Amino acid sequence: MLFDANGRQLHRQEAINIVDPNLEYVTNLSYTNRPVCLVRENHSGDRDHCILKASDRSVWAYAEHIENEARALEFLRGVRGIPTVKRVYNNPEVVGLLKEFLPGEDLYRKQGLSVDMLTQLEDTVEHLHALGVANFEIRPNNVVASAENNYVGLADFGSCVYRNDLSSQGFDFAQRIDRADLQKLTMNVRREPLQRYCT
């Protein structure tokens, strides 16, 4: 959420202009009052869509969420199924993140995942855990899938936690949360528990 000098909440393009005037509003993507916009860069020939999250620093919880996601995406750069950071906006008034738009639909809109896509998602989560990151919020609205591209990815890392910031028991707990969330997603397709997590 961004506000003008009079405390009025700014909407869509006027808020985007404060973060980056070279971005053009396309549509809103958020299920909550947290602004998440689909935008495109209008200063170059690249008209690919991107995701923009931005907040006034006075909305500290969402500002921290954005900063945490930016940290995670920079750390996880190159991991399959994770969006790439395009830019981070960080000044005394505003924090923002411009990231790659993952193709497809989230699982609130999509009917489910193929077994191949579930395997991709499981492999991505295992890779995160091996790198010392737990997503901590693998939910249908945070999983994006495209049957056309045989692709699945995690869209939100604002709630993730890091092995280096937790006790070993704390990180083990975070990994168990991720695995339980995966179990819930996979039960709709497999109708059986994930064998790799049943040891």
Q: Which residue has the tokens 């869209």?
A: 155
Q: How many residues does the chain have?
A: 199
Segments of the chain assigned to CATH 3.30.200.20: 12-100
- Burial, 199: exposed, middle or buried (Cβ in 10 Å; 0-12, 13-18, 19+)? exposed
Mean pLDDT across 111-133: 90
Give the rounded distance of the alpha carbon of 193 from its chain centre. Answer: 25
Asked if the model's pLDDT at residue 199 lies above 50, the reply is no
Rounded distance, CA 29 to CA 35, Å? 8
Statement: 12-100 belongs to CATH 3.30.200.20:
yes
Rounded distance, CA 192 to CA 183, Å? 9
Asked if the model's pLDDT at residue 54 lies above 60, the reply is yes
Segments of the chain assigned to CATH 1.10.510.10: 105-197
Q: If you count DSSP H runs as helices and E runs as strands, how many of each does the chain have, helices first?
A: 4, 10
Enter the CATH code of domain 105-197.
1.10.510.10
pTM summary value: 0.85
Q: What is the DSSP letter of 81?
A: T
pLDDT tens sequence across 178-191: 999 998 887 765 54
